[in-house]
Amino acid sequence: MPALTRQDCLALDAADPLAGLRDRFDLPEGVIYLDGNSLGALPKGVAERVEQVVRAEWGRDLIRSWNTADWYGAPGRVGAKLAPLLGARPHEVTITDTISVNLYKLLVAAVRMRPGRTRILCEAGNFPSDNHIVDSVARQFGLEVVAVPAGEIAAAVDGTVAVATLSHVNYRSALMQDMGAVTEAIHRAGALAVWDLAHSSGAVRLDLDGTGADFAVGCGYKYLNGGPGAPSHIFVAERHQAAFDQPLTGWFAHAAPFRFDPGFARAEGIRAALCSTPQVLSLIALEAALDAFAGVDMGALEAKGRALGDLLIRFHDERLTRFGTAVASPRDAARRGSHVSIALDGGFPVMARLIERGIIGDFRAPDILRFGFAPPYLRFADIYDAAEALEAILAAGDWRDAPVATGAVT
């Protein structure tokens, strides 16, 4: 196979059926943005919609907007809008709080559904915040935590396990789990599955209902482009909603919040997964951002993300290995989410220099250069240009010596 050229990439862009989606985003000039897996780009229309919420709904209509603009229904409404991207039904998803808070709710609810079981199984190497929450829940219920790599969850689950939790796509490696097979194994042991979709929602095709998932959490500010710190989504399969018993029993989870009854009566359906008053500006920004997915086939989107990743890996193999780098993500695109990690000892200054050039990825200590490929707004030529810049920085060689700002590259 002849070496990859920029011309090849331009041809791929010309043939890309999703190329037009880029016009749905306001992207800054001179930037190749490979960090949409950390903070997604700004979709067009969001700024205008947020301004309307601030000036008209808040400023002019004031408290009435809870009814007239249906802020009250917004968590469920936005959840229903998101549900098709997750392969879920509208009444199985709502938008609230953060991933960590929602994971806490789900784990406590799951543990309560499996009384007598003594262990929580979790993914070693999962995003640490998830496992901190696992540890906290286990401590509260006197349970043992067992951490194994994601690929070993199916084999490790047994009748002592109440709940197993793992990421669908790992935040470092991008290794993607087979949700159906793993969930089935968890269910065979009588346990419950809680999936973290942080690096999946909006990037890859999901089928929560088809795979039999019990519970899931996901992120609004990565591939869904909902804005900085956008609220999380939470999925509770319909069959579990009647017994769903989470501990953050705030008034938005109450069957009749405006009756102001002293006792708690759990709301029916997905509302039971809420806790309290939503942060409306951030929530409505996410709602508007989801317009960028209107009419998009998630299978096609996933395929494009994989193709973008394959391109970087091919470039890497052809031109970068001489610098001591290694691909730290699955080479099999079918087992990979929408980012590619390249390992490089002491590579932090390399990422800092890429960012100085307007090529924005991120770094995950100790040695991971992470490049995210948000399929709606990235072009194949962008990947080529980014990889060439990476090659130039590595070839210059002085990145090992020269000091760079050592602040966090989030």
Give the interface segment with its own copies, choosing from 49-57, 336-344, 376-384, 391-399 (CB under 8 A).
Answer: 49-57
Distances (CA, A) of 130 to 260, 312, 335, 361: 34, 29, 22, 23
The catalytic residues are: 127, 196, 221-222, 370
| Stretch in the footprint of its own copies (CB under 8 A) among 4-12, 40-48, 84-92, 338-346 | 40-48
Long-range pairs of 244-248 with CB within 8 A, sequence gap ≥ 24: 244/109, 244/272, 244/273, 245/108, 245/109, 245/112, 245/113, 246/105, 246/106, 246/108, 246/109, 246/272, 246/273, 247/104, 247/105, 247/108, 247/109, 248/97, 248/101, 248/104, 248/105, 248/275
In one-letter notation, the amino acid at residue 189 is A
341 marked among binding-site residues: no
Query: According to the annotation, is 251 in a ligand binding site?
Result: yes
d(CA 380, CA 384): 7
Candidate list 2, 3, 258, 294; residue touching its own copies; CB under 8 A? 258
DSSP 336: B
Q: Which of 42, 204, 270, 308 binds its own copies (CB under 8 A)?
A: 42
Pick the binder of its own copies from 131, 165, 201, 341 (CB under 8 A).
Answer: 131
Peptide bond between residue 2 and the one before it cis (omega within 30 degrees of 0): no
Cα–Cα distance, 344 to 342 (Å, whole number): 6
Q: Residue 221, annotated ligand binder?
A: yes
Q: Which parts of 276-295 interact with its own copies (CB under 8 A)? A: 276-283, 285
CA gap 260, 328 in Å, rounded: 54
Q: Which residues, 6 or more positions from 175, have their beta carbon under 8 angstroms from its beta carbon? A: 150, 151, 169, 329, 330, 335, 336, 337
Shortest spacing between CB 366 and its own copies, in angstroms:
9
CB nearer its own copies, residue 118 or residue 136: 136
- For its own copies, the closer of residues 179 and 284 by Cβ is 284
Among the listed residues 124, 181, 242, 243, the single contact to its own copies using CB under 8 A: 124
Q: Is 277 among the annotated ligand-binding positions?
A: yes
Q: Residue 69, CB half-sphere, CA atoms under 13 Å: how many? A: 22
| Binds its own copies by CB under 8 A, chosen from 8, 13, 58, 160 | 58
**Residue 199 labeled ligand binder:** yes
Dist. CA 291–CA 10, nearest whole Å: 27
Is the CB of 168 or the CB of 364 nearer to its own copies? 364
- Rounded to a whole number of angstroms, the minimum distance from the CB of residue 196 to its own copies is 12
What radius of gyration do the chain's Cα atoms show? 22
Q: Is 130 annotated as a binding residue?
A: yes
Among the residue ranges 9-17, 153-161, 376-384, 402-410, the one whose residues contact its own copies (CB under 8 A) = 402-410
Per CB under 8 A, contacts with its own copies among 187-246 are 221, 227-231
Residues in 132-161 at the binding interface with its own copies, rule: CB under 8 A: 132-133, 135-137, 139-140, 147
Helices (H) and strands (E) in the chain, counts: 13, 15
Burial class, 63, CB count within 10 angstroms (exposed 0-12 / middle 13-18 / buried 19+)? exposed
Report the residue number, 251 or 323, with the smaller CB distance to its own copies: 251
Residue 184 Cβ vs its own copies, minimum distance, rounded to whole Å:
27
Contacts to its own copies from residues 321-380, by CB under 8 A: 355, 360, 362, 364-365
Chain Cα centroid distance, residue 209: 18
Measured from the CB of residue 276, what is the shortest distance to its own copies in angstroms?
Answer: 4
Listed in sequence order, the residues at least 6 apart from 113 whose beta carbon sits closer than 8 Å to its beta carbon are: 162, 192, 240, 243, 245
As measured in angstroms, the least distance from the Cβ of 78 to its own copies is: 13
Quickly tell me which residue has 């669908």 as its tokens. 168
Q: Indicate the residue among 155 and 410 with the shorter CB distance to its own copies.
A: 410
To the question of whether residue 348 is assigned a binding role by annotation, the answer is no
The CB-of-281 to its own copies minimum distance in angstroms stands at 4
Using the minimum distance from each CB to its own copies, give the nearer residue, 320 or 371. 371
Mark out the alpha helices in 92-203 (DSSP H runs).
99-113, 128-141, 153-156, 179-188
Interaction between residue 118 and its own copies (CB under 8 A): no
Residue 71 within binding range of its own copies, rule CB under 8 A: yes
Residue pair 339/408 in contact by the 8 Å Cβ criterion? no
Is 260 a residue that touches its own copies (CB under 8 A)?
Answer: yes
Q: Write down the least CB distance from residue 29 to its own copies, Å.
A: 9
5 annotated ligand binder: no
